Amino acid sequence: MNAALRPFDVAAIRAEFPILQQQLEGKPLVYLDNAATTQKPMAVIQAITDYYSQCNANVHRGAHQLADEATRRFELSRDKVASFIQAYDRCEVIWTSGTTEAINIVANGIAQRLKPSDEVLVTEMEHHANLVTWQQACLRSGASLKIVPIHDNGALDTEAFAALLSANTRLVALPHVSNALGTVNPIQDLTRLAKAHGALVLIDGAQGIAHGGVNVREIGCDFYAFSGHKVFGPTGVGVLWGKAEVLQDWPVWQTGGEMIAQVTYHNATWGELPNRLEAGTPNIAGVIGLAAAIDWLTQFDVSAIQAHERALLAYATTLATDFEGIQLVGTAADKIGVFSFVLQGSHPADVGFLLDKQGIAIRTGSHCAQPLMQRLGLPGTARASFSVYNTLEEVDALFRALKKTQRMLA
């Protein structure tokens, strides 16, 4: 481990998250809904407060010191994101409101270029944000949407993926990690196969980014999208990364201030990257908060983070094997962070409600993946999802609460 990195100490990490210090229903909060959003360390909260209290101003357009400082912090944040994901160039980092907007920027552009003979590939495990967008792009263009199946254990059928690729494949959209199952897809291998057919590749990184180790150069994709709030940053800010040679003439998403080069009453031309895809006043505080989150996360060895989260998942899986009446959903060999389950004879919503009354915060339902739930023959699941600040003791607390919940629902 690099001596410059901070030791991975869960107790010390937890002390930096104010929200984890509270109680719910008279019990210590056990927050296990990290796939929905991660909590924020004081470093992020302070960075946002500092912006509003020290240099609140618009960026790129002021002729005063506050605007200069706001712009400096804002653009330094772009540099930090570029370094974090190993972008080729800082201009490839486009600020968005989150993963959903990032995917929509790509879908809006490709819908203008697709022909009826073209095909777009997605998978059976998609979040709605990486499914509905491509549905609509294909409906507008007449192109075909192809669905790559999964195995019953939640792993992607890679043979079917390879078979579905063709000379007509124009874009492949894949989740890095399934939000509902925790499956980690072999995105580097899948990207290589897709690129061999000349397809553009977009990776939905909403669930992959917080687990560390994202290197867009190694992946080889054309686009990688993620949200700040999944990686200890604020809500309402995200990133579309795209190769400069792809984005430089990509159809613009929105028009208005900042993204133009020249404007007359009857015409307009667009600026260079990244401005051309960033119309209007951005979420300046959110961008600065995201940079603070990245600074906080990169204090630690990424392998230590991943090992900790895998240990939590492995422990929960072991406890589940001895727990009568629990059905695990998503048992792929390579998975991380997500423990989805059904308590037999109970509706997931009832399980979530009763766990909440015991201070355990999880998510229940379809997890914005209704077609996946239909594929699995389930109304939904209960989902506990782990992060850097969770502990083995919290996993124990979850299973004690599940045992009590099971008795209450019997």
- CA dist list (Å): 265 to 188, 268, 277, 279, 350: 47, 8, 21, 18, 59
248 closest CA partner among 278, 221, 222, 274: 274
Decide if 221 is catalytic.
no
- CA dist list (Å): 331 to 178, 206, 393: 12, 20, 23
What's the rounded Cα separation, in Å, for the pair 141 and 124? 22
Cis preceding linkage at 274, omega within 30 = yes
150 closest CA partner among 178, 130, 117: 178
Q: Which structure tokens are listed for 342?
A: 């059904």
- Which listed residue (55, 138, 221, 368) is catalytic? 368
What is the DSSP code (8-state) at residue 349? H
Residue owning tokens 């980014």: 209
Q: Which H or E run contains 288?
A: helix 284-297
Strands (E), 313-385: 326-329, 338-343, 360-361, 363-365, 381-385
Q: Which structure tokens are listed for 307?
A: 């090992």
- Please tell me the number of Cα atoms within 13 Å of 11 on its side-chain side: 1
Catalytic residues: 368
